[in-house]
Chains A and B, each alone.
Chain A
Amino acid sequence: MYRLFLIIGVVLLAANLSFGHKYHTSLTRIEYNDKDKNLEISIRLFVHDVGPMLENRLRKRVDLEKTPEVDSELQKYLAENLVFKRPGGSDLNVKWVGKEFESDTLFIYVECPFDGDPSELSLQNTFFFDLFAEQANLVVAKFGDRKYDLVFKSGDRVKPFRS
Chain B
Amino acid sequence: MKRLFAVICVLFLSAFAFGQSKSQPSDKFKQLDEDLPTPNEYRTASGAPGNKYWQNRADYVIDVELDDVNQRINGKETITYKNASPDTLTYIWLQIDQNLFAKDSDTQKTSPAPNFGGNGFPLSAVEQLAAREYDGRVNITEVTDSTGKALKHTLNRTMMRIDLPAPLASGGTFTFNISWNYAINNQRVFGGRTGYEFFPRDGNYIYEIAQWFPRMAAYTDYQGWQTHQYLGSGEFTLEFGDYTVRITTPNDHVVSATGVLQNGAQVLKPEWATRLKQAETAKEPMKIVTADEAKANESSKPSGKKTWVFKAGNVRDFAFASSRKFIWDAQGHNVEGNKVMAMSFYPNEGNPLWEKYSTQAIIHTLNVYSRYTFKYPYPVAQSINGPVGGMEYPMICFNGPRPLPDGTYSAQTKYGLISVVIHEVGHNYFPMTINSDERDWTWMDEGLNTFTQYLAEQEWEKNYPSRRGEPQYITDYMVSENQVPIMAQSDSLLQFGNNAYAKPATALNILRETILGRELFDFAFKEYARRWQFKRPEPADFFRTMEDASGTDLDWFWRGWFYSTDHVDLSIENVRLYQMDTRNPDVEKELARKQANNQPKTLSAQRNDALPKRIDQYPSLRDFYNDFDQYKVTDKDRKDYEAFLASLDDKEKSLLNGNYYFYVVDLKNVGGLVMPVIFKVEYADGSSEEIRIPAEIWRYNNFNVSKLIITKKEAKAIVLDPNLETADADLTNNFFPRRFIPSRFQVFKTGQGGGGGRRSGNANRQTTTTTTNGNSLTGRWAIAIDAGGQMIPLTLNLNQNGAEVTGTIEGAQGTMQISSGKLENGVLTIKTTSPMELTLVGNINGVSISGNVTAPQGSTTFSGSKSN
Residues of A within 8 A of B (CB): 2, 5-25, 27, 29, 31, 35-36, 40-42, 44, 47-48, 51-52, 54-56, 58-66, 71, 96-105, 107, 109, 111, 129-136, 138, 140, 149, 151, 153-154
B11 within 8 Å of A by Cβ?
no
Which residues 367-398 of B sit at the A interface, judged by CB distance below 8 A? 388-392
Given known pairs A10-B114, A130-B113, the reply for A102 and B757 (CB within 8 Å) is yes
Given known pairs A12-B114, A22-B233, A98-B748, the reply for A149 and B482 (CB within 8 Å) is yes
Q: Are A21 and B116 in contact (CB under 8 A)?
A: no
Provide the residues of chain B in CB contact with A24, threshold 8 Å: 495, 497
Q: Are B190 and A12 in contact (CB under 8 A)?
A: yes
| CB-contact partner of A23 in B112, B233, B761, under 8 A | B233
Provide the residues of chain B in CB contact with A59, threshold 8 Å: 117, 120, 122
Provide the residues of chain A in CB contact with B390, threshold 8 Å: 17-21
| CB-contact partner of A22 in B103, B497, B743, under 8 A | B497
| Subset of 28 A-B contacts with CB under 8 Å | A9-B114, A10-B103, A10-B114, A13-B190, A14-B189, A14-B191, A15-B191, A18-B389, A22-B497, A22-B500, A25-B495, A42-B745, A51-B119, A61-B404, A62-B120, A64-B412, A97-B745, A98-B748, A98-B763, A100-B754, A100-B760, A101-B759, A103-B466, A109-B761, A109-B763, A130-B113, A136-B494, A149-B482
Total A-B pairs in contact (CB under 8 Å)? 267
Tell me, in angstroms, the Cα distance from A20 to B453 when the chains sit together. Answer: 12
Contact with A along B479-497 (1 / 0, CB 8 A): 1111000000000011111
Q: Are A14 and B758 in contact (CB under 8 A)?
A: no
Provide the residues of chain A in CB contact with B495, threshold 8 Å: 23-25, 134-136, 153
Contact with A along B417-459 (1 / 0, CB 8 A): 0011001100100000000000000100010010000000000
B851 within 8 Å of A by Cβ?
no
| CB-contact partner of B115 in A98, A131, A135, under 8 A | A131
Tell me, in angstroms, the Cα distance from A6 to B115 when the chains sit together. Answer: 8
Tell me, in angstroms, the Cα distance from A47 to B112 when the chains sit together. Answer: 20
B676 within 8 Å of A by Cβ?
no
Tell me, in angstroms, the Cα distance from A36 to B847 when the chains sit together. Answer: 11
B730 to chain A, nearest CB (A): 10
Q: Are A13 and B763 in contact (CB under 8 A)?
A: no
Tell me, in angstroms, the Cα distance from A151 to B746 when the chains sit together. Answer: 24
Q: Are A15 and B192 in contact (CB under 8 A)?
A: yes
B107 within 8 Å of A by Cβ?
yes
Q: Are A17 and B388 in contact (CB under 8 A)?
A: yes
Provide the residues of chain B in CB contact with A9, threshold 8 Å: 113-114, 116, 131-132
Q: Are A52 and B115 in contact (CB under 8 A)?
A: yes
Given known pairs A13-B100, A22-B497, A138-B482, the reply for A65 and B411 (CB within 8 Å) is yes
From A9, A13, A16, A132, residue with most partner B Cβ within 10 Å: A13
Closest to A130 in B: B112
A46 to chain B, nearest CB (A): 9
Provide the residues of chain B in CB contact with A17, threshold 8 Å: 191-193, 388-391
A26 to chain B, nearest CB (A): 10
Q: Are A103 and B192 in contact (CB under 8 A)?
A: no
Given known pairs A65-B758, A134-B495, the reply for A11 and B112 (CB within 8 Å) is yes
B646 to chain A, nearest CB (A): 57
| CB-contact partner of B116 in A6, A63, A154, under 8 A | A6
Q: Are B114 and A23 in contact (CB under 8 A)?
A: no
Provide the residues of chain A in CB contact with B465, threshold 8 Å: 102-103
Tell me, in angstroms, the Cα distance from A130 to B479 when the chains sit together. Answer: 27
Identify the 9 closest CB pairs spanning chains A and B, nearest first.
Answer: A98-B761, A23-B497, A18-B389, A55-B120, A136-B495, A65-B410, A100-B759, A102-B757, A98-B763
Provide the residues of chain A in CB contact with B420, threshold 8 Å: 18-20
Tell me, in angstroms, the Cα distance from A16 to B190 when the chains sit together. Answer: 9
Closest to B742 in A: A40
Provide the residues of chain A in CB contact with B132, threshold 8 Å: 5, 8-10
Given known pairs A62-B120, A98-B748, A102-B465, the reply for A14 and B476 (CB within 8 Å) is no
Provide the residues of chain A in CB contact with B754, threshold 8 Å: 100, 102, 107
B408 within 8 Å of A by Cβ?
yes
B471 to chain A, nearest CB (A): 14
Q: Are B108 and A149 in contact (CB under 8 A)?
A: no
From A21, A100, A135, residue with most partner B Cβ within 10 Å: A100
Provide the residues of chain B in CB contact with A42, threshold 8 Å: 743-745, 748
B415 within 8 Å of A by Cβ?
yes
B617 within 8 Å of A by Cβ?
no
Q: Are B117 and A23 in contact (CB under 8 A)?
A: no
B866 within 8 Å of A by Cβ?
yes
Tell me, in angstroms, the Cα distance from A18 to B625 when the chains sit together. Answer: 86
Provide the residues of chain B in CB contact with A13, threshold 8 Å: 100-101, 107-108, 111, 114, 190-192, 232
Q: Are B446 and A20 in contact (CB under 8 A)?
A: yes
B498 within 8 Å of A by Cβ?
yes
